[in-house]
Amino acid sequence: MSGAARRPGAVRCGGSSGVHDLGAQVLGLVIWATVMVTPAIARADLMGDAQALVAAWSESGVVVTRLTTLFLSHSDGRTVSLFHRDGRMGSFDAARAPAKRCVTIVALAERQIRFSLVPARPGVGAGEALADSPAQPTGARRTVQSQAGVAVLRDCGDGGLSSGRVRVAMDSPRGAVELLVAYHQVPLVPLVITLPERAQGPVAPGGEVGEPLSLAPVAEREARARRAALADGAKLVVRVVAKASERGAGSAVLNLTRGCHRLTVLADQAGSSQPVDIDADVRLEDDAEPLRRDRSHAPDARLDFCLGTKAKVWLRFMGAGGPTKVTVQDAFWPMPAGVPTYWGATAGAGLGWALHRRRAPPVTEGPVFQALGPPGITTLPVPVEPGGCYLAAFAAMRDQAGPGRLTVQAGAQGYHDDANEEPRGAAVSFCAPVGAPIARAQVDLRGSGGFWVFALWSLGGAAR
């Protein structure tokens, strides 16, 4: 801190002892208890539904087996075998199983959970992709989307479940899935009789979305993006051209300077066999996590981010529609001169992003007050000049910090901004009322590691 203290402006080391009181600890215990108990309640409801279905079907002589519960996240899939190691399907007594039977698989989740259930091809192992194959029987290629948290597959001799494996793929952010296997000769009691809350009701037929809209030529879209960037204050707009592969994917390495950038990735529809829908991400050359990603359904991709130092970045894209030229446009905003460099590249990027995102007034002089603090909630008394206007910002000093919030109380007025994306940074502007020489700034940074830096710039006096 001694080196930092010689920089312009005051430097203060923040602490969190003033806010870790008994009330905060009690609130933390209540929140922890809520988080721990809620999944258990939801899990109990799901188990109750599965047990009710097993009981209802077993009363009519149906052999029902509950398989292992699956816990899946978005885009996760799990292939489940219905066979024992000795080759018998399911966990049932062969003497009790009907000689000519139907096999029904029911997947249950909470009503709001969406997932899909599909039979595996013969020979497909756990974890392998399960693309439909024209050589399969019709029943074997059927993918069932869940409705009200239920998906059902049935094989009454058509070979749909001949592989003895099914795959469950999660479409929701996360969820638990119960799997039931029933062997029966007579029709099963309808599921909605046992679980009436799972009834989906009538569903209107889907509408026709029509043909995709025709795209303007890439030169016109590029000119439009350039005008938008210049209107937002960009000082420079340059372009490079990359080449997409047969699959419409490609990459480019860019040497970018310190400051904020907007990369726009565009491809021309002309000559493309597939619709153009560019998805892209950009990352520092040696980083696993991207600085930004764009997975929207817009034909062009846009990536906005800031760099705390000159760096080489790697741009990846896909969705160009085929082997075509891809234009990458870089709009550049210089880092404000008043943003310090001595706190490091990560903090510089966070401060720059906070000011850029909030379209803050340009700061040409260094901060008049600075502070450094740990994760958690820290309150700082900030000396201000009554009637003066200020710009306050904070940024995390390490990548992969948790979300944060900056709150400033100036007299009776309160201001706040959230830091919900990398690089973590937030900024607010305010004017100190007459007769209030102290403002209170509160930094709340979540996560287990990494410090933050707080900076305050003067914007000049206010009318009195």
The secondary structure of 13-33 as a DSSP string is: E---TTT--HHHHHHHHHHHH
Structural domain total, the chain: 3
Contact indicator for 9, 454 with CB cutoff of 8 Å: no
Residue whose token pair is 């039979």: 119
Query: Which among 334, 357, 391 is the end of a domain?
Result: 334
Residue whose token pair is 């900030």: 382
Please indicate, yes or no, whether residues 304 and 399 belong to a single structural domain of this protein.
no
Query: Which among 306, 334, 362 is the end of a domain?
Result: 334
Strands of the sheet with 77-81, listed across from one edge: 77-81, 165-170, 115-119, 144-145
Please indicate, yes or no, whether residues 86 and 188 belong to a single structural domain of this protein.
yes
Residue whose token pair is 């600075």: 370
Please indicate, yes or no, whether residues 320 and 348 belong to a single structural domain of this protein.
no
Please indicate, yes or no, whether residues 175 and 246 belong to a single structural domain of this protein.
no
Please indicate, yes or no, whether residues 171 and 257 belong to a single structural domain of this protein.
no
Please indicate, yes or no, whether residues 365 and 303 belong to a single structural domain of this protein.
no
Peptide bond into 423 cis (omega under 30): yes
For residue 169, being part of any structural domain is answered with: yes
Please indicate, yes or no, whether residues 61 and 135 belong to a single structural domain of this protein.
yes
Contact indicator for 243, 325 with CB cutoff of 8 Å: yes
For residue 210, being part of any structural domain is answered with: no
Residue whose token pair is 């003497």: 95
CB-facing half-sphere around the CA of 343: CA atoms within 13 A: 31
Which CATH number does the domain housing residue 425 bear?
Answer: 2.60.120.380
For residue 329, being part of any structural domain is answered with: yes
Contact indicator for 103, 164 with CB cutoff of 8 Å: no
For residue 208, being part of any structural domain is answered with: no
Please indicate, yes or no, whether residues 346 and 372 belong to a single structural domain of this protein.
yes
Please indicate, yes or no, whether residues 247 and 366 belong to a single structural domain of this protein.
no
Handedness of CA 340, 344, 350, 352 (dihedral sign): positive
Please indicate, yes or no, whether residues 363 and 314 belong to a single structural domain of this protein.
no
Q: Measuring CA to CA, which residue among 427, 410, 436, 218 is closest to residue 329?
A: 218
For residue 3, being part of any structural domain is answered with: no
For residue 28, being part of any structural domain is answered with: no
Beta-bridge partners for 455: 370, 393
Please indicate, yes or no, whether residues 63 and 169 belong to a single structural domain of this protein.
yes
Residue 355 is predicted with a pLDDT of 95
- Give, in degrees to the nearest 5, the angle at Cα 229 between 225 and 235: 135
pTM for this one? 0.60
For residue 379, being part of any structural domain is answered with: yes
Query: Rounded CA gap, 135 and 121, in Å?
Result: 10
**Strand stretches in 54-119, DSSP E:** 63-66, 70-73, 77-81, 102-108, 115-119
Residue 159 is predicted with a pLDDT of 61
SS3 for 182-208, per residue? EEECCCCCCHHHHCHHHCCCCCCCCCC
Query: Which among 170, 198, 226 is the end of a domain?
Result: 198
Q: Measuring CA to CA, which residue among 361, 444, 362, 376 is closest to residue 408?
A: 444
Please indicate, yes or no, whether residues 78 and 191 belong to a single structural domain of this protein.
yes
Residue 258 lies in domain: 218-334
Residue 272 is predicted with a pLDDT of 63
pLDDT means per 10 residues, the chain with 464 residues, are 41 45 42 41 70 86 86 82 52 45 88 87 43 37 83 77 80 89 84 81 71 83 96 95 90 95 90 80 85 90 95 93 92 96 93 94 93 93 94 88 91 92 91 92 85 94 54
Residue 224 is predicted with a pLDDT of 96
For residue 23, being part of any structural domain is answered with: no
**Which residue type does 401 have?**
A
